[in-house]
Amino acid sequence: MKEKTGMILAHAGEEYDQYFNAIVPPVFMNSLNIFPTVDEYYDSDKRDKHTYCYGRVQNPTVRILEEKITELEKGVESYVFSSGMAAATAAVLTACSCGGHVVCIRTAYGPLKDFLQNYCREHMNVRTTFIDGDDPKEIEEVLEDDTQLLVLESPSSVVFRVQDIKKAAEAAHAKGALVYIDNTFCTPIYQNPLELGADFVMHTASKYLGGHSDIIGGSLTVKDPELGKRVRTIREQIGSIIGPMEGWLMMRGLRTLEVRVKEHGKTALAVAQYLEQHPKVKKVYYTGLASHSQHELIEKQQSGHTGLLSFELDSTTQEAKGFCQALRIFKIGVSWGGFESLVMMPYAREDEETCKKMGAGQNVIRIHCGLEGTENLIEDLEQAFQQVF
Ligand SMILES: *Cc1c(COP(=O)(O)O)cnc(C)c1O
């Protein structure tokens, strides 16, 4: 099965004879397509694979990209959006209606929680219940008869907690709710949530799928064609399709997804192990460590780990900031999943109570292990320890 991944990245969805047998599909930089007759224009609404009409609806470069993501995620349809948030909000708007209810894990992506808590509450009267998500029983207990969506992110991207996707999906489906999962950390290489029961799998291509820190984009994959049709309609009406150039760059990034994430994961594991044995480190959060409290579940639903991890120093928040600033290769910046190593303190401005709820101290440091070389990164951390302590 895994042998197939390379084939998907290299060739899936591509029809060389449609563009003069160029090995790389062109950027179809067009906003519309033309028709020989008025009736054929109207019939384009039937939209078979090769009928394109208007660039806000579909674009040939983007479609190739979507076919690759669909195969990688073992879904039926994918839609690529102008950002991860555009994909995430499209899933919420597809699943939720006025007066509905959402269950969302507390460590989900912040802007998505804000969208639920603010826009959806104010404009749609949608209530959201936030939970830890570690225990399937907790999920079962908070699901209500009118719950429309369960929002998961496994692993979540600061403290790397995981949810039992299969059990969570069974509980949600028993109440008639759909399951959305942010699969950005694992990428389709290491986890395929549709197979475990999820209904929407979301990726931000701004991270590993793009992989080069040069685009903003996102995707949604579904396994139910009816649901796919609704997602496509939302994307068309909101107008949130990715641009052809970004779509093309994302496809170029995808070619090397598998080799990149393997390298990121190898480095991150070595870095996590180095940090774990360091006397100044209190705790390391990484799904690849055997010491992770959910190790058994992780082994069951993930086949690997990528390059993002967090740790807490035995220090004040101020000292932790000093540590970040003492790093030379790890640059201070938000985001992750590109070629470069990054460092951030995601809870540095949170109060103590919030930090407690979010599962780590205010001084927690998140790093992305880039492709600069494992030894270089460990040396960088080592010199920062020596500067600060
Ligand atoms: C960055 C990020 C997003 C949002 O993606 P954008 O492309 O920035 O909109 C969603 N989920 C996770 C886990 C992220 O890291």
pLDDT more than 90, % of the chain: 96
- CA gap 271, 273 in Å, rounded: 5
Read off the pLDDT band of 48 (50, 70, 90).
Answer: low
Distance 182 CA to ligand 1 centre (A): 9
pLDDT of 43 reads 85
Which residue, judged by its Cα, is nearest atom 8 of ligand 1? 84
Please state, as a whole number, how many other Cβ atoms lie within 10 Å of the Cβ of residue 16.
12
Residue nearest to atom 4 of ligand 1 (CA): 84
- Mean pLDDT of the 346-356 span: 96
Non-local CB neighbours of 28 within 8 Å, separated by 6+ positions: 59, 60, 61, 244
Position in ligand 1 atom list of the atom nearest CA 88: 10
Check whether 85 has a pLDDT greater than 70.
yes
- The overall average pLDDT reported for the chain is 96
Assign 114 a pLDDT band (cuts: 50, 70, 90).
very high
Residue 12 has pLDDT above 70, yes or no: yes
What 3 state SS string does the chain have? CCHHHHHHHHHCCCCHHHHCCCCCCCCCCCCECCCCCHHHHHHHHHCCCCCCCECCCCCHHHHHHHHHHHHHCCCCEEEEECCHHHHHHHHHHHHCCCCCEEEEECCCCHHHHHHHHHHHHHHHCCEEEEECCCCHHHHHHHCCCCEEEEEEECCCCCCCCCCCHHHHHHHHHHCCCEEEEECCCCHHHHCCHHHHCCCEEEEEHHHHHCCCCCCCCEEEEECCHHHHHHHHHHHHHHCCECCHHHHHHHHHHHCCHHHHHHHHHHHHHHHHHHHHCCCCEEEEECCCCCCCCCHHHHHHHCCCCCCEEEEEECCCHHHHHHHHHHCCCCEECCCCCCCCCEEECCCCCCCHHHHHHHCCCCCCEEEECCCCCHHHHHHHHHHHHHHHC
Tell me the best of 114, 203, 207, 215 to mutate to test the pocket of ligand 1, counting ligand atoms within 8 Å of each CB and taking the most. Answer: 207
Confidence of residue 1 (pLDDT cuts 50, 70, 90): very low
pLDDT in tens, 98-109: 999 999 999 999
Q: Is the CB of 184 under 6 A from ligand 1?
A: yes
Interval between CA 387 and ligand 1 midpoint (Å)? 33
Of 151, 163, 204, 219, the residue with max ligand 1 atoms within 8 A of its CB, to mutate for a pocket test, comes to 204
User: Residue 174 pLDDT more than 80?
Assistant: yes
Q: Is 83 in the pocket of ligand 1 (CB under 6 A)?
A: yes
CA distances from 51 to 33, 40, 43, 77, 216 (A): 9, 10, 9, 16, 27
* Confidence at 307, pLDDT banded by 50, 70, 90: very high
| pLDDT at position 44 | 78
Q: How many residues does the chain have?
A: 389
Instruction: Give the sign of the dihedral formed by CA 141, CA 102, CA 109, CA 152.
Output: positive
Q: pLDDT for 198-257, tens place per residue?
A: 999 999 999 999 999 999 999 999 999 999 999 999 999 999 999 999 999 999 999 999
Ligand 1 atom with least separation from CA of 86: 9
Residue 2, pLDDT score: 60
Average pLDDT over residues 284-299: 98
Query: At a CB cut-off of 8 Å and minimum separation 6, what does 325 contact?
Result: 332
Question: For residue range 117-159, what is the model confidence (pLDDT) as tens digits?
Answer: 999 999 999 999 999 999 999 999 999 999 999 999 999 989 9
Instruction: Please give the number of the atom of ligand 1 that sits closest to the Cα of 337.
Output: 15
- Check pocket membership of 109 for ligand 1, CB cut-off 6 A: yes
pLDDT digits (tens, 9 = 90+) for 311-344: 999 999 999 999 999 999 999 999 999 999 999 9
Phi, psi of 282, deg, nearest 5: -85, -40
The CA distance from 12 to 68, in Å, is 5
Q: Is 156 in the pocket of ligand 1 (CB under 6 A)?
A: no
- For residue 267 and ligand 1, the question of a CB distance below 6 A is answered with no
Q: Rounded CA gap, 241 and 250, in Å?
A: 13
Q: Which atom of ligand 1 is nearest to the CA of 85?
A: 9
CB 212 within 8 A of CB 338: yes
| Res 47 pLDDT > 90 | no
Task: Determine contact, residues 75/231, Cβ cutoff 8 Å.
Answer: no
